Amino acid sequence: MSSNTTDNTGYKSYLEEDGGRKGIFKWILSTDHKRIGLLYLYAMMLWFCVGVVLGLLMKLELIAPGKTLMEAQAYNATFTVHGVIMIFLIVIPGLPAVFGNFMLPIQIGAKDVAFPRLNLFSWYIYILGGILVIISLFGNGPPDTGWTFYAPYSFKTGTNMLPAALGAFVLGFSSILTGLNFIVTIHRMRAPGMTWFKMPLFPWTLYGTAWIQLLATPIIGITLLMVAGERILGIGFFDPAKGGDPLLYQHLFWIYSHPAVYIMILPAMGAISEIIPTFAKKTIFGYKAIVFSTLAIAFVGYFVWGHHMYTSGMSGAALWAFSLLTFIVAIPSAIKVFNWISTMHQGSISTEIPFLWAASFIFIFMIGGLTGLVLGSLAIDVHVHDTAFVVAHFHFIVFGGVGFAFFGAIHYWFSKIFGRKYDPSWAKTGWIIFFIGFVTLYGPMFYLGIKGMPRRYFDYLEEFHGPNIISTLGAMVMVAGFLIILVNLIKSARHGEKTTEMNPWGGTNLEWQVPTPPPLENFDEIPVIDKATYKYD
Amino acid sequence: MSESIAHHDEHRDDEASKLGIWLFIFTELLFFGGLFITYAVYRHAHPQAFHMAAQQLDVAVGTINTVILLISSMTIAMATTSIQKKDKRTTLILIGITLVLALVFLVNKYFEWSAKIDHGIWPGSPLLEELGKGDTLFFGLYFFMTGLHALHIIIGMILIIVIFVRVRKDKISFDNFQLLENGGLYWHLVDLIWIFLFPLFYLIT
């Protein structure tokens, strides 16, 4: 035990090291990557609660045909704000901003990221973006265009959509600067001996993600600026009456927003690739296959945006090219799933909480991925386009994928981050309720979509009533599970049993070789790496 | 976290900060890339109108501004060289010339824009609506892209002013000039984008 616990003498954890500041300034002026990671975590937690409430309101509205809670306009505003918050404020920054910030420098054996002040600045930009989104709720009423801000809605609507679009623009800056910081950090600050192929997989996926953040985000930036120009000056870029082309907006939007899906999912895959070998006590199967499939996803992901627009009007040749590429981009994702399952094969698996999240991630992700192929097929997509099927699909991928990986990651790294333990029985209860609720919530929507129920309507035909009731009940169950998880984590972070155990799960990466919680600069001496990671003897 | 800042400075990594500015330049190129795509699409849709509209622009002013930016790129590059030769005075003069040239560019731009606006051409103006879709889009793109470029000039000038002050205070010196070099790289980017804007709007008629 003694070698596995932290010697508390002569060592100050990052939580005690306050840089001589008081109260909240300990946090908002600190350039420590670990504190910045937590700043993101807390901000995101608040936003997530707002997003969940909005989502629940929508499901409550849909519990019966006709008006239950709100009319069309309020419903439109609800799904728009829900989408903007969930996409731009939570899943896109998501794992990189929280766990990337916290774990990346530790996992590659560095004392901080390459540009610590820029890192803190990125957080302030993130907060500014959030404030703009809040501002959009007032004035002429919240935006009602959907989070996609499609033209011509986005410049015709009388609602207050400009601040929301500018918020997304500003959040893009935060994302770009975080990506830039991570790329430079990974290039310049790996510990001596840590060659590219000795680097753990979570940093690898952050690396792939960072390139997408860097190269795709500017496109949405300029597109949203053009929408702003449209609204403020009436330039006419996307206005058919002035010669503009609304379809061009859709292209530009998805040139970013499809790769953005990989910004969300790649780090989630990275976290899963950390959790599974630790709890299977086996070397990850096909390390290089995971690395190369990560890069392949990041690369091919740029060329599939057209599959969001099968019904918008494109040439036949473009359609089948996008469909083919969509099928191709599924291959590297499938490779990863095979790798995770092969890693578990003949491993000595311990079904701790993080593993449960990881295993259920694979299950949910498979469903999300395979239904993605259904949507990627041209003929079927025409049938299910803009139906509840699409909503179910991307919630399985984006919420199921990123959300499950996020919860898995926080349960995996919790004691390292906070130096306290969470209550495993509550965590397990929360997980099972959340999981059941999740499947009950989104499962029926596949059926509804195939039957033809369109998305983004507050009302529906009587024949869709039954599955909608099940779905709404699922939503309530899921929110109950979420509350259990949240309360358990918050309580444990504040009052949980203290622990200094360095490596509770038997992980092999560097984060398990620093004290719990880590000191300010992580390492007294930069470690020298002489062997590959994920080795179990 | 004063310790960590001190630590950051003592482990200065010029390569890292150069890599950082290069990555930022990539994002800027893609940022304008979205507009270049838009330009290509609409030029393809309205070749004749774009042809006619481009003739309305003053090639002479455009050429002068191109030369101004090219020279300013040269002077900032020379400043990076002269600081390494420990010649602070020349460095300051060269940075100063860069700033003046940038300002002249903006003044030219101001007169150019004012002339257009005097003729009733601005984004969404009634005259443009009369002239038709091609002209609306051409001048919409013209104002948007040169406007965004001018904004980059202004940001670049602020950056160069910061660099000027830091050279004066010897915070930038022959063995610590990465900020100057990075500022120069950024300035070259601003120049480079103009090199594309100039033919697209003024020369291809």
Residue B139 CB neighbours (<10 A): 25
> How do the domains of chain B map onto residue ranges?
15-203
Pick from A474, A458, A472: which is nearest to A65 by CA? A458
How many CA atoms does the CB half-sphere of B32 hold within 13 Å? Answer: 23
Helix, strand, or coil (residue A24): coil
Task: Give the length of chain A.
Answer: 537
Contact B134 A223 (CB under 8 A): no
Single out the residue of B169, B189, B187 nearest to residue B78, CA to CA.
B187
* CA torsion, ordered A412, A417, A423, A425, to nearest 10 deg: -10
Answer CATH for B15-203 from 2.40.50.140, 2.40.30.20, 1.10.260.40, 1.20.120.80: 1.20.120.80
B41 to chain A, any CB pair closer than 8 A? The answer is yes
Candidate from A188, A235, A243 with C-beta closest to B124: A235
Q: Which two tokens stand for residue A473?
A: 């009940």
Q: Are B154 and B106 in contact (CB under 8 A)?
A: yes
In chain B, whose CA is at the least distance from the CA of A18? B1
**Domain hosting residue A49, numbered range:** 22-512
Q: Which long-range contacts (CB under 8 A, 24 or more apart) does B49-55 make?
A: B49/B132, B49/B133, B49/B134, B49/B135, B49/B137, B49/B138, B50/B134, B50/B137, B50/B138, B51/B205, B52/B134, B52/B135, B53/B134, B53/B135, B53/B138, B53/B139, B54/B138, B54/B201, B54/B202, B54/B203, B54/B204, B54/B205, B55/B205
User: Which residue in A286, A291, A422 sits closest to A354, CA to CA?
Assistant: A422
Cβ-contact A233, B141 below 8 angstroms: no
- Spatial CB neighbours of A218, under 8 Å, sequence gap ≥ 6: A172, A176, B27, B28, B30, B31, B33, B34
Digit-by-digit pLDDT tens for chain B (205 residues) are: 333 444 444 568 999 999 999 999 999 999 999 999 999 999 999 999 999 999 999 999 999 999 999 999 999 999 999 999 999 999 999 999 999 999 999 999 999 999 999 999 999 889 998 999 999 999 999 999 999 999 999 999 999 999 999 999 999 999 999 999 999 999 999 999 999 999 999 998 7
Q: Please report the sign of the dihedral spanned by the C-alpha atoms of residue A469, residue A471, residue A475, residue A481.
A: positive
Inter-chain residue contact B134 with A215, CB threshold 8 Å: no
d(CA A403, CA A275): 15
The Cα B113–Cα B118 span in angstroms is 9
**B41–A245 C-beta distance less than 8 A:** yes
Closest CA relative to residue B99, chosen from B180, B25, B154, B181? B154
Higher-confidence residue of A20 and A78: namely: A78
Question: Contact at 8 Å (CB) between A437 and A404?
Answer: no
Phi/psi of residue B173, nearest 5 degrees: -145, -175
Distance CA A215, CA A67 (A): 43
Cβ-proximal residues to A501 (8 Å cutoff; 6+ apart), any chain: A4, A5, A6, A415, A516
Residues 119-138 of B with CB under 8 A from A: 122-124, 129, 132-134, 136-137
Mean pLDDT of A157-184: 96
Q: Does B1 touch chain A (CB under 8 A)?
A: yes
Residue B100: C-alpha distances to residues A56, B66, B104 (Å): 58, 15, 6
Is the residue at A8 inside a domain?
A: no
Proportion of chain A above pLDDT 70, given as a percent: 98
Nearest to A333 by CA among A292, A393, A277: A292
User: Which residues in chain B have Cβ-Cβ distances shorter than 8 Å to A34?
Assistant: none
Does residue A152 have a cis peptide bond before it, meaning omega lies within 30 degrees of 0? yes
Question: CB of B95 within 8 A of CB of B164?
Answer: yes
Across all residues in chain A, what is the average pLDDT?
A: 94
Which residue does chain B place closest to A252, by CA atoms?
B34
Selecting from A32, A180, A216 the residue whose C-beta is nearest the C-beta of B1 gives A32
User: Which H or E run contains A203?
Assistant: helix A201-233
pLDDT (tens digit per residue) in A419-471: 999 999 999 999 999 999 999 999 999 999 999 999 999 999 999 999 999 99
CA-derived radius of gyration, chain A:
23
Quote the distance between the C-alpha of residue A132 and its chain's center.
21
With a cut of 90, say whether residue A251 has pLDDT above it: yes
- Cβ(B101)–Cβ(B118) below 8 Å: no
Using the Cα atoms of residue B149, residue B151, residue B152 and residue B153 in order, give the sign of their dihedral: positive
* A73/chain B closest Cα distance in angstroms: 29
Q: Which of B106, B107, B98 is nearest to B72 (CA)?
A: B98
Q: Centre a 10 Å sphere on the Cβ of residue A391 and count the other Cβ atoms it contains.
A: 20
CA atoms within a 13 Å half-sphere pointing along the CA-CB vector of A402: 26
Contact present, A298 and A208 (Cβ < 8 Å): yes
**E strand segments, A355-454:** none
| Residue contact B19–A183, C-beta within 8 A | yes
Mutation target to probe the A interface, by most A beta carbons within 10 A, among B13, B30, B43 is B30
Residue B34 has its nearest CB partner, among A19, A20, A219, at: A219
A339: left (phi over 0), alpha (psi -120 to 50) or beta: alpha
For A244, nearest residue in chain B (alpha carbons): B137
Q: Cis (ω within 30 of 0) for the bond into A517? A: yes
Residues of chain A contacting residue B16, judged by C-beta atoms under 8 Å apart: 114-115, 184, 187-189
Q: State which amino acid sits at residue A359.
A: A
pLDDT tens column, A3-20: 556 555 568 899 988 888
| Residues in A touching B28 (Cβ below 8 Å) | 218
The answer to whether residue B26 neighbours chain A at the CB level (below 8 Å) is yes
Residue A166 lies in a domain: yes
**Looking at residue A337, what is its pLDDT?**
96
Rg for chain B, CA atoms, rounded: 20
Q: Which residues of A touch B35 (CB under 8 A)?
A: 222, 226
- Which pTM was predicted? 0.94
What is the Cα–Cα distance from A465 to A146, expressed in whole angstroms?
24
pLDDT score, position A503? 94
Residue with tokens 């003069």: B93
Coil/strand/helix, residue A454? strand
A406 pLDDT band, cuts 50/70/90, is: very high
Does A5 map to a domain? Answer: no
For residue A487, the domain's CATH number is 1.20.210.10
